[in-house]
């Protein structure tokens, strides 16, 4: 029986919300590979009363916010720093809150709450702006005898626009803190270098640097409370750089300062995503590589030359395509005018193949095409199921994010009423690499070399490769792999991608389209219940990570492979080439590595992230975590402290680093 059903039966309705929140926090700390359902329930019941969590869940969201802030300690501790209140013991709960996106921070930077109130025809939006004004009054009243320019900045939010860079950051932090207190998870910060560009000219370099350092420190402070999955998975992404409609590349002093600030602070969160292009300044790429080199896992590189034309073709207006950001990790979309959930679900290619291989008809296939056709039958069923879930989903009565969405403000409608310009949904993709490798193994062993019948091969797989170690080694080491610059591999991969495109397009409707990507955060927990597969993967083992290869190969080959995949139409919901790089390689070959990145951009990768670390360091850190309290690694689409990761994720990363070192040293 599923855990949610047990909770519903055993636990009173009044505390069910609290239990679900505690369960979510428990799952952050442990992937629970060996935990039983009963142990989970006992853990929840044991820790419920200890949590001290106060949940405000009145149907009136604005009333909730005010009641919550009245119970919070709003006394500022430092008169000379930004005001930012996050209380992890008090939250507002609203079902189906908007998440995995961001709000339009330009609205709170460039307008007062009174102006926003005057501009809208929606009474609920007016009430939201008014409730935020009352929150500001509460903060001011609690600090009435204190003198701080940041209190003045808060007061000005009610009636004026931001007048300086420092004040603009305070306004962003105010709205950001409200979003976290109201449980809007995985919310990014958008294109801050572009948003704040008008303040740059009149602000000296030192002030810009000092403000950004303090800004980043404050956002990092409560990263455990903010994390949605593993610790560090906060979605706090700052987008820098990017192509403009006039064909020029935008960047400014802030683009460099944000990246250098992360390098200086050496913290995993917030993180930077750098939009790159073939005609960007080379010194900005150099700045990015210097930051990546120290091992903080960012910036992630997102290739405008590939992504923007696909966004245009999908149906986004040109201005919106050029102004894209990403959801949580890497999924591109124009957030300021969108109500899109781009991490709605995961398309588990590996699970689909596993189910297809258990079909009785598979054993009677006389050629490879028939195997593919059966796999596509099961793929069709899963796509149909996901599409039904997408089209049945409705946002809750989420007024705050609607009130700070430019399109909703203009239309006067909430997200749930389709007030945004775009309402598309995205799914991530898990295990495509394993599926491609599995299909290649079936084709090679059964149909090309005829070393086994399909029934014999499937029996070996079902036995978890018992007494067949040689076959498993042969499959892993001697056959072409996903990631190889090999026409057969690339054609097979694109054949599957194009099939998924067609299947999802069938389910598009006038209000909502579905897009998918090849990267997923579920590569450990999404495969725990999947048996052995023909690629040599044993029962319960993780899937391959994003666009990478189980058999180590040269970076240039993986880039060439990734650049030939077909991301057009609707296959653009995050496609990350995932590299493991030795610190010495960049240090000893810095100029060459920069040229490699520039050539890779021109070749046409979609996105790229890098882990810069040694296996020896990870192994020692796992044995002696207290000696490596600040060791940072790249996980999923975010960075995290290595010590915060569950053991399963540590093991996956260590294994990948060791393999990489064997070929790229």
Quick one: average pLDDT of 629-650?
Answer: 93
The residue behind tokens 């201005």 is 319
Query: How far is 563 from 577, CA to CA, in rounded Å?
Result: 10
Lowest mean pLDDT among 26-35, 144-153, 257-266: 26-35
> Encoding tokens for residue 582?
């030795």
8 Å CB contact between 426 and 529: no
Query: How far is 99 from 342, CA to CA, in rounded Å?
Result: 9
Query: How far is 591 from 632, CA to CA, in rounded Å?
Result: 24
pLDDT at 328: 85
pLDDT at 31: 43
Contacts of 587 (CB under 8 A, 6+ apart): 293
Query: Around 584, how many Cα atoms within 13 Å sit in the side-chain half-sphere?
Result: 5
- Strands 576-581 and 607-612, by their bridges, are parallel
> Encoding tokens for residue 161?
């626009």
The residue with greater pLDDT, 106 or 396, is 106
Query: Per-residue pLDDT for 13 more than 70?
Result: no
The stretches of 30-122 forming alpha helices (DSSP H) are: 37-51, 61-71, 106-110, 113-119
pLDDT at 565: 98
In 202-247, DSSP assigns E strands to: 237-240, 242-243
Contacts of 338 (CB under 8 A, 6+ apart): 101, 405, 407, 420, 421, 422, 423, 424
**Residue from 648, 652, 526, 644 nearest 269 by CA:** 644
Query: Around 638, how many Cα atoms within 13 Å sit in the side-chain half-sphere?
Result: 29
Query: Per-residue pLDDT for 36 more than 50?
Result: no
pLDDT tens digits along 502-553: 999 999 998 999 999 999 888 888 898 999 999 999 999 999 999 987 776 7
Quick one: average pLDDT of 384-404?
Answer: 93
Rg, C-alpha atoms of the chain: 25
- Strands 341-348 and 425-430, by their bridges, are parallel
SS3 call for 103 = coil
Query: How far is 543 from 203, CA to CA, in rounded Å?
Result: 48
pLDDT at 54: 80
Query: How far is 418 from 407, CA to CA, in rounded Å?
Result: 10
Quick one: average pLDDT of 382-409?
Answer: 94
Task: Indicate the pLDDT class of residue 2, thresholds 50, 70 and 90.
Answer: very low
**Residue from 514, 603, 621 nearest 563 by CA:** 603
pLDDT at 552: 66
pLDDT at 88: 87
**Residue from 650, 643, 487 nearest 561 by CA:** 487
DSSP 248-312: PEE--HHHHHHHHHHHHHT-SSSEEEEEE-TTS-HHHHHHHHHHHHTTS--PEEEEHHHHHHHHH
The residue with greater pLDDT, 546 or 446, is 446
Task: Indicate the pLDDT class of residue 61, thresholds 50, 70 and 90.
Answer: confident
pLDDT at 608: 97
Query: How far is 256 from 283, CA to CA, in rounded Å?
Result: 9
DSSP 116-181: HHHH---HHHHHHHHHHHHHHHHHHHHTTT---HHHHHHHHHTT----SHHHHHHHHHHHHHHHHH
Query: How far is 408 from 416, CA to CA, in rounded Å?
Result: 10
- Strands 632-635 and 514-516, by their bridges, are unpaired
Query: Per-residue pLDDT for 616 more than 50?
Result: yes
The residue behind tokens 């900045």 is 153
SS3 call for 430 = strand
SS3 call for 627 = helix
Quick one: average pLDDT of 204-221?
Answer: 97
Quick one: average pLDDT of 169-182?
Answer: 97
**Residue from 52, 90, 263 nearest 177 by CA:** 90
What is the pTM assigned to this prediction? 0.92
Task: Indicate the pLDDT class of residue 496, thresholds 50, 70 and 90.
Answer: very high
For the four alpha carbons of 644, 327, 53 and 79, in that order, the dihedral sign comes to: positive
8 Å CB contact between 263 and 294: yes
Query: What does the domain layout of the chain look like in residue ranges?
Result: 3-52, 54-187, 342-396+427-574
pLDDT at 151: 98
In whole numbers, what is the pLDDT of the chain averaged over residues? 91
Task: Indicate the pLDDT class of residue 14, thresholds 50, 70 and 90.
Answer: very low
Query: Per-residue pLDDT for 323 more than 50?
Result: yes
Quick one: average pLDDT of 352-371?
Answer: 96
8 Å CB contact between 611 and 581: yes
Task: Indicate the pLDDT class of residue 654, thresholds 50, 70 and 90.
Answer: very high
Quick one: average pLDDT of 411-420?
Answer: 96
Percent of the chain residues past pLDDT 90, beyond the cut: 80
8 Å CB contact between 537 and 357: no
Quick one: average pLDDT of 435-445?
Answer: 98
**Residue from 185, 196, 128 nearest 404 by CA:** 128
SS3 call for 369 = helix
**Residue from 53, 51, 52, 86 nearest 69 by CA:** 86
Query: How far is 254 from 306, CA to CA, in rounded Å?
Result: 24
pLDDT at 50: 53
Query: How far is 379 from 307, CA to CA, in rounded Å?
Result: 26
Lowest mean pLDDT among 2-11, 495-504, 605-614: 2-11
Task: Indicate the pLDDT class of residue 37, thresholds 50, 70 and 90.
Answer: very low
8 Å CB contact between 646 and 31: yes
What are φ and ψ of residue 490, in 5° steps?
Answer: -65, -45
């Amino acid at each position: 029986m599923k855990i949610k059903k047990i909770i519903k039966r055993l636990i009173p309705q009044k505390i069910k919300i609290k239990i679900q929140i505690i369960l979510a926090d428990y799952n952050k700390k442990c992937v629970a590979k060996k935990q039983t359902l009963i142990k989970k329930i006992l853990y929840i019941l044991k820790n419920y009363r200890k949590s001290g969590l106060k949940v405000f869940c009145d149907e009136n969201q604005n009333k909730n916010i005010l009641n919550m802030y009245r119970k919070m300690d709003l006394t500022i501790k430092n008169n000379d720093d930004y005001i930012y209140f996050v209380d992890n013991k008090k939250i507002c709960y609203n079902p189906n809150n908007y998440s995995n996106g961001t709000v339009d921070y330009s609205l709170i930077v460039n307008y007062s709450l009174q102006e926003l109130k005057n501009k809208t025809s929606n009474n609920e939006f007016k009430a939201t702006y008014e409730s935020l004004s009352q929150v500001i009054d509460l903060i001011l009243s609690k600090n009435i005898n204190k003198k701080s320019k940041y209190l003045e900045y808060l007061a000005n939010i009610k009636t004026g626009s931001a007048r300086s860079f420092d004040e603009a950051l305070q306004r962003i932090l105010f709205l950001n803190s409200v979003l976290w207190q109201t449980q809007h998870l995985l919310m990014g910060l958008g294109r801050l270098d572009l948003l704040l560009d008008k303040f740059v000219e009149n602000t000296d370099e030192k002030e810009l640097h000092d403000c950004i350092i303090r800004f980043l420190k404050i956002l990092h402070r409560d990263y455990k409370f903010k994390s949605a999955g593993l610790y560090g998975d906060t979605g706090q992404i700052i987008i820098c750089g990017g192509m403009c409609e006039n064909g020029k590349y935008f960047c400014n002093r802030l683009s460099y300062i944000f990246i250098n600030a992360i390098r200086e602070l050496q913290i995993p969160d917030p993180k930077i995503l750098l939009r790159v292009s073939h005609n960007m300044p080379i010194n900005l790429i150099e700045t990015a590589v210097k930051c990546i080199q120290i091992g903080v896992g960012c910036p992630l590189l997102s290739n405008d030359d590939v992504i923007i034309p696909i966004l245009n073709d999908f149906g986004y207006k040109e201005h919106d395509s050029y102004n894209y950001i990403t959801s949580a990790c890497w999924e591109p979309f124009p957030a300021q005018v969108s109500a899109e959930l781009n991490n709605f679900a995961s398309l588990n290619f590996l699970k689909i193949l596993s189910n297809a291989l258990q079909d009785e008809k598979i054993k009677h296939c006389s050629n490879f095409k028939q195997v593919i056709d059966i796999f596509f039958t099961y793929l069709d069923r899963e796509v149909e199921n996901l599409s039904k879930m997408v089209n049945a989903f409705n946002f809750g009565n989420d007024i705050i994010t609607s009130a700070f969405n430019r399109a909703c403000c203009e239309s006067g409608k909430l997200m749930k009423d389709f007030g945004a310009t775009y309402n598309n949904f995205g799914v991530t993709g898990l295990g495509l690499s394993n599926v491609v490798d599995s299909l290649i193994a079936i084709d090679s062993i059964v149909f090309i070399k005829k070393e086994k019948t399909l029934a014999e091969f499937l029996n070996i797989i079902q036995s978890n490769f018992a007494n067949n170690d040689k076959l498993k080694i042969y499959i892993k080491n001697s056959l072409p792999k996903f990631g190889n610059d090999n026409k057969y591999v690339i054609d097979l991969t694109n054949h599957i991608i194009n099939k998924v495109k067609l299947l999802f397009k069938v389910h598009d409707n006038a209000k909502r389209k579905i897009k998918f990507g090849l990267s997923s955060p579920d590569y450990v927990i999404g495969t725990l219940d999947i048996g052995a597969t023909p690629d040599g993967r044993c029962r319960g083992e993780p899937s391959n990570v994003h666009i990478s290869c189980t058999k180590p190969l040269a970076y240039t080959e993986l880039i060439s492979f990734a650049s030939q995949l077909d991301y057009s139409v609707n296959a653009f919901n995050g496609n990350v080439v995932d590299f493991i790089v030795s610190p010495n390689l960049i240090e000893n070959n810095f100029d060459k590595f920069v040229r490699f990145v520039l050539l890779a951009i021109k070749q046409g990768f979609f996105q790229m992230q890098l882990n810069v670390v040694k296996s020896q360091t990870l192994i020692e850190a796992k044995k002696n975590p207290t000696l490596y309290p600040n060791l940072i690694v790249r996980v999923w689409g975010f960075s995290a402290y290595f010590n915060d990761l569950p053991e399963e994720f540590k093991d996956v990363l260590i294994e990948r680093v060791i393999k990489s070192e064997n070929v790229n040293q």
